[in-house]
Every structure is written in structure tokens, then in C-alpha cells.
Amino acid sequence: MTRPSLPLRLVGLGAVALAAFLSLAGVPITSAQGQTLFAARVDGALPVDAPFDPAWQEVRPTEVALSGQPVVPPMRMEPAFPSIRVRALVSEDRIAVLLEWDDPTRDESVLAVDAFADAAAMQIALGDGTSICMGQQAGGLNIWHWKADWAADLAAYRDLEDVHPGMPLDVHFPADGTADAFGPDGFLAGQAAGNPRSAAVRPSSVEDLNAIGFGTLTPQVPEGQNVHGASEFREGVWRVVMSRPLSDGDPNDAILDPRGSAAVVAFAVWDGSRGDRDGQKSVSSWLALALPQPAIGFLDMWPFMLLPLLALGLSGLVIWVGARQPAVGLGWPNGRPDGGRGA
């Protein structure tokens, strides 16, 4: 077998080196195809408290199909809604995600045994290969869960006495204000235990949670509840905005880095009027959340400025090596037979 010449080997090595350089510089050689939610960049403040702000109309929504949840009880075999529309905006240090879906009923009270509230959630994978079914031990999730009843409580907190004003008053034991009292209203075990669902004051309508599999859904500590929520219901349409700093140093929060790879996200929606709660929900499959790259400065352009220089260097090396090879086929191998005489 004939060995390849030195210039050919150099060209092959140069191609391999160029591919490796492109990978290190963050230029993808190939990528997987799938549904991607592209976030748009905003200069200035994000409309985190205005779900119907005109700025949202400037972003093209991504239609995300929903399916039922037939894996664990309580199940939903068919989705309550066929799809939701998702938009995302990013500023220099914050992200806001808008979820929008059509819902003929506005369900925001849970002050009855058979009453359930509308809700929506976005889950973000914290690692590679994370299961969409609430994650797993090797790959957890960060979940942002908006609840319509929490949003209503922020506007005007209501308890059973507000829904049933004629109900008899409870006899609290021990007495309010004593050292043995559980909670600010007497024997309130949920508040005394720090259960976020029993809190009389909420920092947001969105709960920040983590999960590593079925039955592991856990709220973050109060200091870690940093997802802001805003919502509005208009003419049979829910719009929910969930926003958070891109990175806050919390190891339980997903890092959303515009300079890094796209985040892997999925969505879920609950319809309170149909009894949705817990696992009874409409869910999406995984999709990518691509954040816009920051503005490129002069120093950020060094990979692209170095590429032409690298190409010129490789070309010059190939020409130099080729010029030093024997000129086979160009004239007589050992000089002219007549000693250089003749035409």
C-alpha cells in the first residue's frame, strides 16, 4: 500500500485541528434538530408585572403541544388543553417567560373540599439525561409552579370565614399570644410547621421547587423563593409571567447562561374546573430554551480573527513542503542526455 505524501497528511491533520478549534471556540459543527423556544433580548426592564404589555406582542410565540399524564395517579389520559403558547424575554441579568392558554373558566379558589385552582409550571433540567417524569436521582429538576389561588391571595387574602361568613368561630387552644400557641391564630399547625401552602403571607404567586423523581417534589427554603409571578385572565385567556435572575448562585436553581448551551425545559397546565391537581395535568415534551447571545466585543472576536490566520499558515506550510519535494516528471531525472546542449 502506498503511504500518503507529507503534504496530504498535513492537510488531513489541519482539517482535524480546525474542527477541534471550532468546537473549543463554541462554533457547533452539527446539532440535533427539535423544537426550540427562542428568547428575545430586551434593553432595559422586562415587563414582569404586565402579562398583556405590548412588549410581549413583539415576540413570536412558540406553540407547545400538550398531552395527558397516564403514568402515575391521579392520571389524566387526555389533555385538558391541546397546547399552550410560550414567549420568553431576556435582559442583561433576568429572564421572563410568558405562558398563555385558552381556558373558559377562571378557577382561583381552593376553599372547598372539591375546589381546585388553575395552575401552570415550567421545569428545567439540572443535568444531562434528566427524566421528564419529575427527574431522577442522577438528574434533578428546578420547577417554577404558578398557582391561581396564590395569585388571588396576593391580591386579597381570603380564608374560610370570608367564603362562609355565618360559620361558627373556632375555639382556639392554647390561647392566642401565649408561648405555647401554634401560629399567629392559635392552633395553626401548618403555619407552625412552615408549610408554604398554609402561609398567610406569600412572597410570590410562583413556588420555586426541586424534584429528583416521583414523590420527591420539595419547595426551596423561603430565602430561595426568588421566582416572581404575575398573571391576568382576560376573555377566556390566561397569561402568566414567571421571571427570575439568570444566575443567583443558588445550587438548587437552574443556571441560565446566554454564553452556555440551551436549557432543556418542559411545561404543564392544570385545569381546576376539571379537578386537576397533583399528577392530574396536561404536560409537554422536552424542548430547548435558547437564550440570545450577548453583544460581541472586540476581544470576543479573536476566534474568528484567528481562523483566517490559521488557514493562511496551513496553506503556506503545505506550499513550502510541496516546493521541497523532488520535481518528479518535470524534465530529465538526471539532467539532459546531451549535457545541457541542444534545443
Q: What pLDDT digit, counting tens, does each position of 129-144 carry? A: 889 999 988 899 999 9
pLDDT for position 59: 95
181 and 174 Cβ atoms separated by less than 8 Å: yes
How crowded is the C-beta side of 242, counted as CA atoms within 13 Å?
22
Residue 234 burial by Cβ neighbours in a 10 Å radius (0-12, 13-18, 19+): exposed
How crowded is the C-beta side of 220, counted as CA atoms within 13 Å?
22
pLDDT in tens, 274-323: 999 999 999 999 999 999 987 665 566 666 677 888 888 888 888 887 77
Residue 176 pLDDT more than 70?
Answer: no
- Poorest-confidence range of 30-39, 159-168, 308-317? 30-39
Mean pLDDT, rounded, for 208-234:
95
Average pLDDT, the chain: 83
- Poorest-confidence range of 224-228, 241-245, 305-309? 305-309
- Poorest-confidence range of 9-23, 68-82, 148-162, 205-219? 9-23
Please give the residue that has the higher pLDDT: either 202 or 69: 69
pLDDT for position 137: 86
93 and 42 Cβ atoms separated by less than 8 Å: no
Amino acid identity of residue 180, one-letter, is D
To which residue does cell 392552633 refer? 187
- Poorest-confidence range of 93-107, 162-176, 209-223? 162-176
Residue 3 pLDDT more than 80?
Answer: no
Please give the residue that has the higher pLDDT: either 245 or 299: 245
Cβ count near 258 (within 10 Å): 15
pLDDT for position 32: 31
CA–CA gap between residue 8 and residue 5 (Å, rounded): 5
CA–CA gap between residue 90 and residue 293 (Å, rounded): 10
Question: Domains (ranges, CATH) in the chain?
Answer: 7-33+301-320 (no CATH), 40-157+204-290 (2.60.40.1190), 158-200 (no CATH)
Give buried/exposed letters for 308-334 (b at 16+ CB in 10 A, else e): eeeeeebeeebeeeeeeeeeeeeeeee
